């Protein structure tokens, strides 16, 4: 099955969903209520037996604010599909798909840890990178890169990192290597 045929099949199954294509990669925008059944259909009927990754995006200032991105892959047919679903800040909860793909367990824990999106019925929803009890969600856009101080006696603490005028980032420019290379460019 080619990507175009896949697109046809998806349209049969999800007639009302918006779909974008970029460089032969298909992304389907799924409402949050349907994401679990959509994943189920993709796995059982369309043959997507491999969950590559789940990631999340913070569209700060937009509504709904968060977006979860599911990357699916079919090892038999060698095709790739991306599902996207929006999550509102007022109701930060999405259904878990660790029932369908075991690997989703840790991906969802990471999203919970970094973005603060909870997953309903997740078997083990703990933080995975930061320690249990850390009060912030550090990958959100309104969290500063240098971090915030926190203290949890006998577990961990955190402090603000000295950025010395940074962060050190490169900026796209036509002028030359000298201006392009990473320098301390504080956020405006």
Partner 1 sequence: MATIAPAAYDSKVEGNIIFSQLDACINWMRKNSLWPMPMGLACCAIELMAAGASRFDIARFGAEVMRFSPRQSDVMIVAGTVTYKMALAVKRIYDQMPEPKWVIAMGACASSGGMYRSYAVLQGIDHLLPVDVYVSGCPPRPEALLEGLMKLQHKIMHEHAIEDQKRAQFEGVS
Task: Give the footprint of partner 1 on this chain (CB under 8 A).
Answer: 129-131, 136, 138, 143-148, 154-159, 161-164, 166-167
Closest distance of CB 186 from partner 1, Å:
13
CB closer to partner 1, 50 vs 136: 136
Measured from the CB atom, is 75 or 145 closer to partner 1? 145
**Is 123 or 133 the residue whose CB approaches partner 1 more closely?**
133
Shortest Å distance, C-beta 119 to partner 1:
22
Taking the complex as a whole, the smallest distance from the CB of residue 57 to partner 1 amounts, in Å, to 19
Nearer to partner 1, 73 or 136 (CB): 136
Between 120 and 184, name the residue whose CB sits nearer to partner 1. 184
> Tokens in use for 13?
């199954």
Taking the complex as a whole, the smallest distance from the CB of residue 70 to partner 1 amounts, in Å, to 26
Nearest-approach distance from CB 114 to partner 1, in angstroms: 11
Question: Sheet containing 18-22: which strands, arranged edge to edge?
Answer: 18-22, 25-29, 79-87, 66-74, 50-58
């Amino acid at each position: 099955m080619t990507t175009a045929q896949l697109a046809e099949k998806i349209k049969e199954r999800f007639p009302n969903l918006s779909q974008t294509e970029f460089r032969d990669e298909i992304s389907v925008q799924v409402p949050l209520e349907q994401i679990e059944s959509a994943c189920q259909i993709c796995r059982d009927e369309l043959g997507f037996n491999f969950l590559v990754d789940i990631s999340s995006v913070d569209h700060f200032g937009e509504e709904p604010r968060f977006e979860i991105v599911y990357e699916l892959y079919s090892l038999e047919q060698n095709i790739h599909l991306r599902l996207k679903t929006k999550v509102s800040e007022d109701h930060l909860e999405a259904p878990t798909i660790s029932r369908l793909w075991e690997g989703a367990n840790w991906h969802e824990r990471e999203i919970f840890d970094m973005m603060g999106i909870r997953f309903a019925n997740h078997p083990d929803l703990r933080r995975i990178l930061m320690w249990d009890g850390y009060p912030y969600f550090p990958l959100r856009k309104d969290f500063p890169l240098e971090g915030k101080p926190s203290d949890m006696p006998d577990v961990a603490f955190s402090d603000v990192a000295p950025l010395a005028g940074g962060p050190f980032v490169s900026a796209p420019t036509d002028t030359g290597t000298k201006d392009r290379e990473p320098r301390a460019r504080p956020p405006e």
